[in-house]
Each structure stands twice: as structure tokens, then as C-alpha cells.
Chain A
């Protein structure tokens, strides 16, 4: 088990390193520079600015300098937003995305599981069909459509929720729904199919023959065997959701990571692009890592194979 975790950990670092290198190379390969859009600058000013930011040195040296700073968890200083460290800028915007993301993940898992379980228990009956229609809608309607629709219905027409912002708990409702619809639908479908499979398994019959009540059988026996695909999906979902969605943040006026990242790319703000990409990558890899560990905890058979895999 320890070796399994260690192994995963080493791979995690390796993939992060590769990603940093690739991002750095790609960013420099794209034509244009962060200083290009500065107005009314002379050759001398351009040269001074380049020297100030270290852009006059060869790319490989820049890369070395960057890695060295990174080792001290210093992501540099923004080239556009004056005197602002990247670390601080990320922390600030990430706060919004993180809070909304966590709420959205919890909503997705709970709502997705409940919908999926209902659909599986009433397989091929009315409730199953209803849940699956909802799921298909959730998957099919893009958030660009869903979010303004929610705003129009619940903020403009009936005025239950505010249109934009993210300060009070009630502000979370609409963005959460818009952000979670796809993952709720996805999880519901995953749970439904794996649940139908486990409800037909022999060990469910054994559990029944022990005289256990229906809800114990569903929650204790069937769900634990059906949750594995969701755990896998969760790794992807966590990283994806808490780093913010550009669209949702734009529509609901949330100053989160998604919006922030896009503006950085447009600005060619090198340290900011690198910083946000690395941050995103670390989150992604870490949540995958987390999912791998949860996987082993949920399914004891994985413990055996996890032990073998590294021997």
C-alpha cells in the first residue's frame, strides 16, 4: 500500500514536470510578447522592460530561472497587473472558484447518486424514465443556455435569487445548478448502470436471504459496489470544477479563476499563464491521486492488486 502510494506520488511529480516544460515551451513558441501592447514605447524602454523581466536572456536560461523560483513556490510577478505577485492573484481569484466548486461537487455527487439510485431501483418504470430524461437534459443543455435561462426565470421573473455576485449563501444557488447540471447527469447515469448491475448480483440475493431490510441492502451492499466509476470521475471533476468555469463565472459575474485565466492568456502575461497552468495541473494531478487512494479504500480487491502492481 505504501509503495503503491509512493509510486503514484513519483508519477505525479514526473507528469507535473513534463507539463511545466511543455507549457513553458508552448507559451514561448506562440508569437507575440507581453510587452507588445504597451503604447508609445521607444526601443530603449522596450529593452529596459525586457531586461527587467529577464526576457532578454535565451529561453533556456529563462526556463532555468523559472524552475529555480518555482522550487521556492514563487510564481513570479505579473507583467500586466502592476506589482502583483502571481501567488496572491491566484489565491484571491481561486477563493471564489474553490467555494463555488466545493458546493457544486457536493451537489453533483449527492444529487447524482440519489437520481441514479432512484432510477436503478425503479428500473424501466416511470421514475427511472423521469430521472433519465432529466439526466439527458442536463447533459445536452450547455451551461451557456442554462445559466441565462435560470437567471431569467428565478432572478428576473420570480426574483428569488440575485442575478450576479457571490457574497451570500443564497447567491450560490443558481451558479451551482448551472455548474453542476452536467456532472449530476453524468453521475446519475454512471450510478444507474452500475447499480442495476450490482442489484442483480448474487451477493444481493445473499444479503436478502440474511433477512436484511431493503434500505440496508441498497446502501450497504449495492451502493459500495456501484460507486467505483463515480470515484474515478470525481478525480477529474474536482480539478475541473474548483478551478472555475469561464462561462459560468462570466455570466454570474464571479471574479474566479476561469475568468482570470482567460484574461491572462489574452494579455500574454507569461508568469500569470505559467502560474495558473501549474496551479491547475497540481490540482488535477492531486485530485487524481486522491481518487486513486479513495478507490483502494472503497474496493478491497484493489488493495491486493495495488500491492502486486509495484512488486
Chain B
């Protein structure tokens, strides 16, 4: 699969009162054409910052993209001027945000907010853009699009607003859609509808998707591949089957253990991950997860583990994968990675 997006060695920091928060620390990943990739991790793990860096939506200052490159269609987005970047945003990359209640402009009609991008990027006339906007609204499953287009966001429910956001993001047929926690603010039934819609649209339009979430449940539904982030680093990547069936990083395992399962026996407690993520103003010298890890060894405190490939698709950043680590996980990991 030809990669459409390649993020290489990305480092992003924020200047705050107490010092410099290293929100993203050396992130590498790629997204193939038509592929749906999920980035999971708890709050503050750097997933949203990564996504917003791709779109160059990080306010600088306080934000600072220290190093790395974001290759999109072979072009480094980080070296583009603001004006050139405006041609990429909304046109080649669309974005959906977390809270549909606040991410639409309350003083503009829904139609006007869709039309804006179309007129700018596709150079459509107002009436042509309007026709297209109506098509988009019906595509995202909004009934009576002809009359709804003239209404304001406050006439729409949360789920409907997120559909409008999807219509805005997909208006110019982008080759990549970044969805930053698109269902977090919605209730469960609406969540399912929105995810179903995103999946359907992806199959129709062959758009690549980066889905950022902390909900592993929705990952299984929509995505092909999963990237697990912790403390600004990628700790594990793999296909969704590898991640769900054969997680190798203690953090990934912990995340899965803390989810309720259908086959769980009644009364069996969920196992949380104890402790809190490290302070990224002074990131730990060794592995970021070390202080919360059950299987931590001495080396974990002093040295950062290098990524280890377990298969063509699965990579883990953990000392347990080192040939010298005498762990039963080792053999198991090799065996199950088929």
C-alpha cells in the first residue's frame, strides 16, 4: 500500500509557565491510501497534538514543532508557508473535531459553513456550491437537506451537527480525513451511527482516515491498524487483530484489561492501570510507562527501548522484547504474530 502520509521523527513542545512540555517525542508512522488508522491513548498522550500538527493547527507560540517532517503526497507539510498550507487544509485533508456543539459557528447557517470551503478550494460558484452542499448533507444522512441547509447549528442535535461536520470535512473530497475523538461527546447510540457513517463514506470515497480516540471499542469497528501512544511516544503499532488478540506492550495490555468484556464473568473486577502518566516537562529518562508497569525491569528506568518489529505490521517499544529479557512473553509474542 502506497503511503499517503508519513510522519517522521516528529517532536512537538509547548512553552508553559513551568517550562517546556514535550507533548510529542519522536513519533513515526505512516498511513496508506484508503487505510483507516486509529491512534489510541489516554488524555495527554500526544495523540491530538500529533493530529493537529499534521494540519498545522497548533498555535505557535506556545507550541513549537521542534523537528521532524510530515510527508503528505510526498510534500513536507511542515515546510509549507501558511498560504500554501491553506490550500491543503479542507481541500486535501479534512478534519472533524470532538465537540460538535462548539465546533460549528453559531452565527452562520449550516449551508454557508459548508459552502465556504467549496467556494475556496473547488472554485465553485455560489449556486453550484449550494447544490453540492445539499448533496453532501444528504450523503451524511440529514433528512430534508434543501431546507436544513438554511438553518443554524442550534436547530440541529449533537449527532446531526457531527454529521454536518463530516460533510464539511469531506466537502472537497480530501484524500485524508482526521477525526479527533469524533464520538466522545455523543451518546452511545449516536456514536454507533456516526461511526457507521464514517465507515460507509470511507468505503465509498476511498479516503484514508486517522481516527483519534481513547475508546478501543470504536477502534475495532472502523480501523485497520492501531497506533498506541503513551507519554508522547508510540509504544505499539499493529493491525487491529494483532493489537486486540496479541498485545505485547504492558500498556496496551493494561488498556485492554481495563475494558469491560462481554465474556467477563459477573463480579469479576476490571483492572485499572494504577498511577498517573509522567510529567512531560521532565520526561523520564527511560521508558515512559516504567513507573506504572508491572513488568518493569532495571533497564526500563534508565534507557528508552528501541522499537522492535514482531511482524511486518506489529512494532513494540519495550525492553521485554529484547533478546536478553528472560520473559515468557518473548516466545508467546513470536508465536502469535502470524
Residues of A at under 8 Å CB distance from B? 201-203, 205-214, 216, 220-221, 224-225, 298-301, 304
Distance, CA A212 to CA B152, complexed state (A): 20
**Within the complex, which residue of B102, B109, B116, B155 is in contact with A202, where a contact is CB–CB below 8 Å?**
B102
Distance, CA A202 to CA B106, complexed state (A): 11
Chain B, range 88-104, C-beta contacts under 8 Å to A: 88-91, 94-95, 97, 99, 102-104
Nearest A residue (CB) for B95:
A209
Q: Determine how close the nearest CB of chain A comes to the CB of B40; give it in whole angstroms.
A: 22
Q: Which 8 A-B pairs have the closest CB atoms?
A: A211-B90, A211-B89, A210-B90, A202-B102, A209-B95, A210-B117, A300-B152, A203-B105
Distance, CA A216 to CA B82, complexed state (A): 14
Question: Hey, which chain B residues are within 8 Å of A201, CB to CB?
Answer: 102
In the complex, the answer to whether B90 meets A202 with C-beta atoms within 8 Å is no
Distance, CA A209 to CA B90, complexed state (A): 6
Distance, CA A300 to CA B102, complexed state (A): 15
Of A208, A211, A220, the most chain B CB neighbours within 10 A belong to A211
Question: Hey, which chain A residues are within 8 Å of B120, CB to CB?
Answer: 210-212
Question: Hey, which chain B residues are within 8 Å of A202, CB to CB?
Answer: 97, 99, 102-103
- Contact-size category for B: 20 to 34
**Within the complex, which residue of A208, A209, A210, A224 is in contact with B107, where a contact is CB–CB below 8 Å?**
A224
Nearest B residue (CB) for A224:
B107
A-B contact list, 17 entries, CB within 8 Å: A202-B97, A203-B102, A203-B106, A206-B168, A209-B89, A210-B120, A211-B89, A211-B90, A211-B117, A212-B90, A216-B116, A221-B105, A224-B108, A225-B105, A225-B106, A300-B109, A304-B155
Assess whether B87 is interfacial by the CB under 8 Å rule. Answer: yes
Chain B, range 24-67, C-beta contacts under 8 Å to A: 55, 57
Assess whether B154 is interfacial by the CB under 8 Å rule. Answer: yes
Distance, CA A301 to CA B155, complexed state (A): 9
Assess whether B199 is interfacial by the CB under 8 Å rule. Answer: no
In the complex, the answer to whether A212 meets B103 with C-beta atoms within 8 Å is no
Assess whether B191 is interfacial by the CB under 8 Å rule. Answer: no
A221-B108, A300-B154, A304-B154 given; A210·B103 CB < 8 A:
no
Question: Hey, which chain B residues are within 8 Å of A207, CB to CB?
Answer: 105, 116
In the complex, the answer to whether B86 meets A212 with C-beta atoms within 8 Å is yes
Nearest A residue (CB) for B56:
A208
In the complex, the answer to whether B86 meets A206 with C-beta atoms within 8 Å is no
In the complex, the answer to whether B103 meets A206 with C-beta atoms within 8 Å is yes
Q: Determine how close the nearest CB of chain B comes to the CB of A226; give it in whole angstroms.
A: 10
Of A206, A210, A225, A304, the most chain B CB neighbours within 10 A belong to A210
Q: Determine how close the nearest CB of chain B comes to the CB of A266; give it in whole angstroms.
A: 49
Nearest A residue (CB) for B82:
A214
Question: Hey, which chain A residues are within 8 Å of B83, CB to CB?
Answer: 213
